[in-house]
């Protein structure tokens, strides 16, 4: 699953990620467009025990969240 949180500021991307992970507990890709969201979503996912791989491109980051 792919979740695009571009245009949202924290805490909204974290809340959206939380809901999406409940529906897809195996993981998902989250697109963020600001550093605060990148750091907060990464911190949240890691606190839940997920691995997070970060890819940067086109002014955005894709956070690949997986178990």
Q: How far apart are CA 49 and CA 38, in angstroms?
A: 17
Please report which confidence band the pLDDT of residue 29 belongs to, taking 50, 70 and 90 as the band edges: very high
Q: What is the pLDDT of residue 26?
A: 97
Residue-number span of the structural domain to which 24 is assigned: 2-66
Q: How far apart are CA 26 and CA 65, in angstroms?
A: 8
When pLDDT is averaged across residues 28-46 and rounded to a whole number, the result is 97
Q: How far apart are CA 66 and CA 52, in angstroms?
A: 7
> CB count, 10 Å around CB of 60?
16
**Triad 30, 41, 4: Cα angle to 5°:** 25
Domain count along the chain:
1
Q: What is the pLDDT of residue 27?
A: 97
**pTM (global) more than 0.85:** yes
């Amino acid at each position: 699953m792919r979740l695009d949180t571009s245009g949202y500021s924290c805490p909204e991307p974290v809340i959206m990620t939380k809901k999406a992970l409940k529906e897809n507990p195996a993981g998902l890709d989250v697109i963020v467009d600001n550093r605060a969201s990148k750091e907060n979503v990464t911190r949240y996912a890691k606190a839940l025990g997920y691995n997070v791989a970060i890819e940067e491109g086109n002014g955005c980051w894709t956070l690949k969240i997986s178990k």
